[in-house]
A = this chain, B = another copy of it.
Amino acid sequence: MSAMLGQTILTANAPAPELIDEFVIANKILFHQNVVDAFGHISVRHDKDRNKYLMARHLPPQLVTVADIVTFDLDSNPLTHQEMAYYSERFIHGEIYKVRPDVVSVVHCHARPLIPFGTAKGARLRPIYHMTGFLAVGVPVFEIRDAGGMTDMLIRTPALGKALASCLCDKAVVLMRGHGATMVGASIRQAVFRAVYSAENATLQMQAHQLGQDGEVEFLTAEEGAKVEQWGRSIDRAWALWKDQVSS
């Protein structure tokens, strides 16, 4: 395995094997939970060096193995696994890590229920229940035309990555018009949890608007959302199930 992981494992600064294992499982969970299909990716900040992050090479998350985890610097240059294909949108990750010291993990996805919220006129993703208190601080929508004009929609450059990170600001989730969404967390588990439940929230919110008189829905208040966010145990409980589901 040391050969597979490339040079990093030979140094004292190699990421902990437990981190790598958790990260591979996260890739599979994102697929199993319908957050990603063949596209989308997750990264985690390097546990030994805050100025690096880990992410798979150019692969569908479901197919990622320990051997596929590349180390990048925060400019998103690969430090291992040279001369392979990488995700073209890795700048999403690197640029967010630069400006958000609190962030340890980033998920980028095209989860189905989130797409309408990024494209429908006037739509706003808001916390419909206690699983998504992290949405109560607001969910900005990134319009790539503001930063790049007419593009192929992808965050292919450091400049576009910086613009997205700026739009995300201090929030947990940013929607991307005509593209998908990006969510961040203080751990792999929190980023995955936020990805899964952002999509759940979107599904439920769409239905609630259709059901309510004049589309009206009672959302969590900012205070309720903040209190919800003080929980601790939920994320590990969900992780226990999701890990079991992708392991069996």
Contact = CB atoms under 8 A, between A and B. Distances in A.
A202 B224 CA distance: 26
A39 B131 contact: yes
Given A60-B237, A224-B151, A227-B151, A38 B122 contact: no
Nearest to A130: B153
Nearest to A237: B38
A112 interface: yes
A216 B63 CA distance: 37
Contacts of A228: 152-153
B220 A122 contact: no
B178 A218 contact: yes
Contact of A123 (B152, B212, B234): B212
A19 interface: no
B121 A217 contact: yes
Contacts of A63: 240-241, 244
Given A62-B244, A120-B209, A238-B60, A128 B150 contact: no
A198 to B, nearest CB: 14
A135 to B, nearest CB: 12
Interface string A208-231: 111111101111110110011011
Copies in the complex: 4
A220 to B, nearest CB: 6
Interface centre among A152, A217, A227 (most CB of B within 10 A): A152
Interface of A: 37-39, 58-60, 62-63, 85, 88, 110, 112-113, 115-117, 119-123, 127-131, 133, 150-154, 177-180, 200, 203-204, 206-214, 216-221, 223-224, 227-228, 230-231, 233-234, 237-238, 240-242, 244
Nearest first, the 7 A-B pairs at minimum CB distance are: A120-B212, A130-B153, A121-B216, A152-B227, A116-B208, A60-B241, A120-B211
Given A63-B240, A119-B128, A130-B154, 13 more contacts: A59-B237, A63-B244, A116-B128, A119-B208, A120-B209, A129-B178, A130-B152, A130-B153, A150-B221, A153-B227, A178-B220, A209-B211, A210-B210
